[in-house]
Amino acid sequence: MKYTMNLNNGPFNHIKAGTKTIEMRLNDEKRQLLKEKDLIEFTNRTTLETILVEIVKLYKYASFEELYKHFDKVALGYDKDEIANPKDMEKYYSKEEQEKYGVLGIEIKNKVN
């Protein structure tokens, strides 16, 4: 199965460079359909460029705080000199949404066409 998702410029470029290997999303109805080996086509919101990735593994957590404890910050899309803070995800997903659905770490690898 192939899914489409939008990404901001920074995370998109980190995936393209191969440094961001964990995409973080709310585990809502749409994301609950994802399975290992499915494909995701990410579209850069700024440039409209697309990149195709394959889902390697799915990790379910109750909160982004839990997810952040299990992965390297560079894999999550941060630069080495940045501070990784799970509260950063609250600009995308409210605390209430996180409590309702839980969160998902989507391990991905770039797919060469």
Q: Give CA–CA dist 105/36, Å, rounded.
A: 12
Over residues 98-107, mean pLDDT: 97
- Predicted confidence band at 113 (pLDDT cuts at 50, 70, 90)? low
CA distance readout (Å), 90 to 16, 17, 35: 24, 25, 25
Over residues 69-92, mean pLDDT: 95
Q: Cβ(58)–Cβ(21) under 8 Å?
A: no
Q: Give CA–CA dist 82/18, Å, rounded.
A: 18
Domains annotated for the chain, with CATH where assigned, are: 2-110 (2.30.130.30)
pLDDT in tens, 14-34: 999 999 999 999 999 999 999
